Amino acid sequence: MEQQGENMQAEDLYAKIPDTEPEWADATFRLGYLRLQRSDFAGAVQAFESCLVKREQWPEAQLNLGIANWKMGDADAARKAFEQVLAASPQSPDALRGLAALALERQDYDQAFTLHTQLMELGERSPELFYNAGLIAQKRGQAQDTARFYEEALSERPKFAEARLNLGHALKSLGQEDEARSCWRRAVDAKPELAQSYFEPAR
């Protein structure tokens, strides 16, 4: 049913498997995942917590529990879940990403920068990772690092207009006016709506 997109029916079937059956834990994990997908975060938390009662060391269930708690707005429970994943698997990129997002939410830029650096050291090279690292470096007043991270983001995704726009700001702060103007022009050419906020009607 799940493979055919009949997710509600799949949830009903998963929920009916007794907890005495060997398949119960895997079914409950799938139940939690489907609830997470349809934004039933409280239901997802319940399912993943049940999984962890049965099988304490289950990084995927712990990670999804963290995500569900985060989506519910319970940052403390989310952080605890992600940290438990890291305790079992210190190089888990998913847990590091979760903790980095939580650090950004509470504007702890030092920890967020440390976590982004750890992800890079693990070989992560997504444009979003470099873009976020650029934003954090910008908040920390590190203009050289800011420019470098935005350039890395653009090397991974050349048409990343927001990264090019912000690279322009970083270059301007470094005194590279001509290069900054070139970046802004190319960013707006690629995504004209970026210019709209610069030309808001006077109030």
Could you tell me the end-to-end alpha-carbon distance of the chain, in angstroms, rounded to an integer?
Answer: 55
The pLDDT tens digits of the residues spanning 175-200 come to 999 999 999 999 998 888 887 655 44
| The predicted structure's pLDDT at residue 190 | 87
| The predicted structure's pLDDT at residue 199 | 47
User: In this structure, what CATH number is given to the domain that contains residue 96?
Assistant: 1.25.40.10
| Boundary of a domain, candidates 91, 124, 157 | 124
Q: Do 187 and 109 fall into the same domain?
A: no
Q: Do 107 and 177 fall into the same domain?
A: no
The alpha carbon dihedral of 36, 1, 29, 93 has a sign of negative
User: Residue 60's pLDDT band (boundaries 50, 70, 90)?
Assistant: very high
Residue % of the chain over a pLDDT of 70: 96
Mean pLDDT of 55-82: 96
Q: Do 11 and 72 fall into the same domain?
A: yes
| The predicted structure's pLDDT at residue 154 | 96
| The predicted structure's pLDDT at residue 115 | 95
* Domain carrying residue 190: 130-203
Q: Do 106 and 140 fall into the same domain?
A: no
| The predicted structure's pLDDT at residue 198 | 53
| The predicted structure's pLDDT at residue 194 | 80
167 or 192, which is more confident? 167
The pLDDT tens digits of the residues spanning 100-126 come to 999 999 999 999 999 999 999 999 999
Q: Do 109 and 22 fall into the same domain?
A: yes
Q: Do 81 and 105 fall into the same domain?
A: yes
Q: Do 76 and 147 fall into the same domain?
A: no
- The model carries a pTM of 0.81
Mean pLDDT of 13-17: 95
**Residues 45, 61, 57, CA angle at the centre, nearest 5°?**
125
For the chain, the domain total comes to 2
User: Residue 202's pLDDT band (boundaries 50, 70, 90)?
Assistant: very low
User: Residue 203's pLDDT band (boundaries 50, 70, 90)?
Assistant: very low
